[in-house]
Structure 1
């Protein structure tokens, strides 16, 4: 089950990278000085990507837990 632990850690790391990317995109959008409507439009796509990255990270953590449980 070591493979499941390492695969889960890798998947979780990919999700974490996605979350950090979304945070950087939000900071970039805020620094751009957009008006309220423009900022909302920019954040709409980022929020969807952030939820996807969070889902990937959770799946990775679930794989790690399964690997540790069945080890």
Structure 2
């Protein structure tokens, strides 16, 4: 079960990287000086990616906890 812990940690770090990327994308979108509609459209895409990254991170953490419980 040690492998499940390491795999879960790697998946969780990928999700964390995705969350950091979403933060950077949102900051770039705000700094671009876009109009209201263009900014909303870009931030909608960032929110969708944010939810996906959060889900990946949560699945990784669940794998780590499962590996600890079973190990």
TM-score between the two structures when normalised by the length of structure 2: 0.98
* Cα distance in 2, alignment partners of residues 46 and 30 from structure 1: 12
Q: Specify every segment of 5 or more residues in structure 2 that has no aligned partner in the other structure, as ranges.
A: none
- Cα deviation for residue 16 of structure 1 reads 0.3
- Cα deviation for residue 35 of structure 1 reads 1.4
Report the equivalent of 2:48: 48
* Cα distance in 1, alignment partners of residues 2 and 38 from structure 2: 47
- Cα deviation for residue 11 of structure 1 reads 0.2
Q: Specify every segment of 5 or more residues in structure 1 that has no aligned partner in the other structure, as ranges.
A: none
Aligned: 1:26 with 2:26 = yes
- Cα deviation for residue 58 of structure 1 reads 0.2
Residues matched between the structures, number: 71
* Cα distance in 2, alignment partners of residues 53 and 36 from structure 1: 25
Structure 1 consecutive aligned stretches of length 4 or more whose deviation exceeds 2 Å: none
Alignment of 1:50-69 (within 5 A): 50-69=50-69
